[in-house]
Amino acid sequence: MHWIVVWCVIVGSSSCKPSEEAPPLRDPGAGTKRKPKPTEVPTPQPTKPIKPTIPQPASDPAVAEVAGLAVAVLVDRSGSMSESIDGSVERKEHIARRAISKAFDATKVYAAKRPDYPVKVGLIAFAGEAEIVAPIEIYSEGKLLDALDRIPFAYGETAIGDAIGLARVALMGAGMTRKHIIVITDGDNSVGVEPKQAVADVMNDGIMVHVVAFDTDASKFAYVADNNGTILSAHSDKGLVKALQQIYQKKILAEAFEE
């Protein structure tokens, strides 16, 4: 226990002084932990799922078009393309690549007839995503065949609508008056933009769409015909070669070189 002694001297009035300084007055609130005010957390609001959007072609600056032909060939490399078709042990992806390379042979024959008429061809592969494996450029057999060899093995989902949207952007920047998309697929769209909407949009841009239903029911692509496009079926190696010949050589190339 500590004692504080106080001396008082009376001289007309009293005055008292402590023997040591008194401690400062204590703040009643000092030394106590004050709980911070709770932070108001906003109640999360439900959000609508993001709808896939189709890539839009660049419009600034505008690409000047000249008389010529631009073709984008879209080849399915989804998981089902790793399977074989009835009566064959060869994978569908290999059959498709060989058929495409044969179709390309007709290009140089037509191009030799009219060197002044530019022909641009590009290649897009798609599974869960679409990618350009050969940009749409003046036809080069060597570049296109190399691109076919670089396509990854079949795996994953099927993004037909996304592939069409990607081709749309590439074709609108190619600067050719005639623009075509050829789709080779064996399945249904399973991810990304709905192909029905993608086809309607590219048709509005003056791009023609042609689909080869390879080892699958062609009726699922009826929306292509509804937009004045072409649908053909193929259920064999020879059937796919014939379908591509009919679309690419007898229709696209023949009509372009007749103008």
Structural domains of the chain, ranges and CATH numbers in brackets: 68-258 (3.40.50.410)
Percentages of the chain per state (helix, strand, coil), in multiples of 5: 35, 25, 40
pLDDT at position 108: 85
Phi, psi for residue 233 in degrees, rounded to 5: -105, 150
Mean pLDDT of 183-209: 95
Alpha helix segments (H runs only) across the chain = 92-113, 141-150, 160-172, 195-204, 222-226, 237-244, 254-258
DSSP H or E run through 131: strand 130-138
Token duo for residue 76: 């399915």
Lowest mean pLDDT among 3-12, 138-147, 208-217: 3-12
pLDDT at position 223: 94
Q: How many degrees, rounded to 5, is the angle at CA 132 between CA 126 and CA 136?
A: 130
Q: Are 245 and 219 in contact (CB under 8 A)?
A: no
Interval 124-171: pLDDT, tens: 999 999 999 999 999 999 999 999 999 999 999 999 999 999 999 999
CA gap 222, 174 in Å, rounded: 28
Token duo for residue 18: 């402590």
Considering the entire predicted model, what is its pTM? 0.77
Quickly state the pLDDT bin for 39 (edges 50, 70, 90): low
